[in-house]
Amino acid sequence: QGINQRIKECFPLFSELALQVVHFTGTPDSVDDLSRGYALYNIPSRVKVFEEKILMAWAAADAFIGRSGAATIAEAM
């Protein structure tokens, strides 16, 4: 949840960049709040709890922000 909170603080910066965001929240609690925030700042986004086809998401990504756990790092590699 810490990352989700910090991302919301970055909305003003993100709105100045030409980017599209795919955000996996990890819990259903944050999906609506984050979706509204991205929309408020006109940031193209897709917010979901989880992605079954994560390899496709990794293939489409130019950058990644996430936890630094061993599983996350192994998956990113």
- For the whole model, what pTM was predicted? 0.86
Instruction: Give residue 40's pLDDT.
Output: 98
Instruction: Give residue 55's pLDDT.
Output: 86
Each residue's pLDDT tens digit, 34-66: 999 999 999 999 999 999 998 888 888 889 888
* Two structure tokens written together for 27: 């819990």
Amino acid at 46: R
Instruction: Give residue 71's pLDDT.
Output: 85
Q: By the 8 A CB rule, do 51 and 57 touch?
A: yes
Each residue's pLDDT tens digit, 17-27: 999 999 999 99
31 has pLDDT over 90: yes
Number of CB atoms found within 10 A of residue 14's CB: 16
Element (H, E) at 38: helix 31-40
